[in-house]
Amino acid sequence: MKKWAYPVAILTLIAFLVLRVTYKTEAIQKFDRQMAEWLFGNKFIDMFHYIGEPKFVVGVAIVLVVYLAWKVKNYRGMVLVLLTFAAGTVLNHLLKTWVQRPRPEIENQLTSFSFPSGHSMSGLLYLFTVAYVLSEGNTKARNIQLWIGAVVLTALIGMSRVAGARHFASDVLAGWSIGFTWFVICVLWYERRKRVFEDVKEQHK
């Protein structure tokens, strides 16, 4: 993990907390209305919500765990997947229950709470985890491609929730913000455990 990611994770945590206390203000509501006007009904963007659906994310998690277990024998990586995918989902539900923001008022709206966006948060977590895991031991050019793909798809999943009127734009920003913070926390644990293991292995040589 690049060193710049740690201060950025602190900033995204602050951004989440700011959005938590300001989402009812006129400024944020105006921002939400403006983004809804720009994105609502965009069929191309809206279709990206499918790759943020829980069933799809679970499928990716299973494939990634199998790859880590049988292909590269990275068992700490398997725990990383559980921390980002599963624990991240639990965290999102806890935060939604804490905030209890209603979703946009449309016909046949979802019944769960809106803040922060689950698709946006889980989308960032699973895509960034995939990029991170696959980038280990890879070439710089390949890693750049992986991370660009992860960032672009994360952005599209988040915007799809506004295009489909399932979330406010501020919900999406909050999902991205707390998602990145949680991702960095999980990677920090992973890399620390990896260093400890390597130090112990070195001592026993």
Distance CA 86, CA 32 (A): 29
Distance CA 180, CA 159 (A): 16
Contact between residue 129 and residue 84 where contact means Cβ atoms under 8 Å apart: yes
One-letter amino acid at 10 equals I
Residue 139 lies in a domain: yes
pTM for the whole thing? Answer: 0.91
Write out the residue range of the structural domain in which residue 184 sits: 5-19+42-200
Residue 12 lies in a domain: yes
Return the axis-axis angle of helices 140-163 and 118-135, rounded to nearest 10°.
Answer: 170
Distance CA 119, CA 24 (A): 21
Task: Give the pLDDT of residue 205.
Answer: 58
Residue 115 lies in a domain: yes
Task: Give the pLDDT of residue 201.
Answer: 57
Task: Give the pLDDT of residue 182.
Answer: 98
- List the pLDDT tens digit at each of the 205 positions of the chain: 788 999 999 999 999 999 999 999 999 999 999 999 999 989 999 999 999 999 999 999 999 999 998 877 888 889 999 999 999 999 999 999 999 999 998 877 888 899 999 999 999 999 999 999 998 877 888 999 999 999 999 999 999 999 999 999 999 999 999 999 999 999 999 998 877 766 555 665 5
Distance CA 184, CA 25 (A): 29
One-letter amino acid at 19 equals L
Residue 47 lies in a domain: yes
CA distances from 100 to 96, 97, 103, 115 (A): 6, 5, 9, 7
Residue 36 lies in a domain: no
- Which structure tokens are listed for 27? 């400024």
Task: Give the pLDDT of residue 70.
Answer: 84
- Which structure tokens are listed for 93? 């539900």
> How many degrees, rounded to 5, is the angle at CA 84 between CA 171 and CA 165?
25
Contact between residue 23 and residue 115 where contact means Cβ atoms under 8 Å apart: yes
Give me the number of domains the chain comprises: 1
Task: Give the pLDDT of residue 132.
Answer: 94
Residue 29 lies in a domain: no
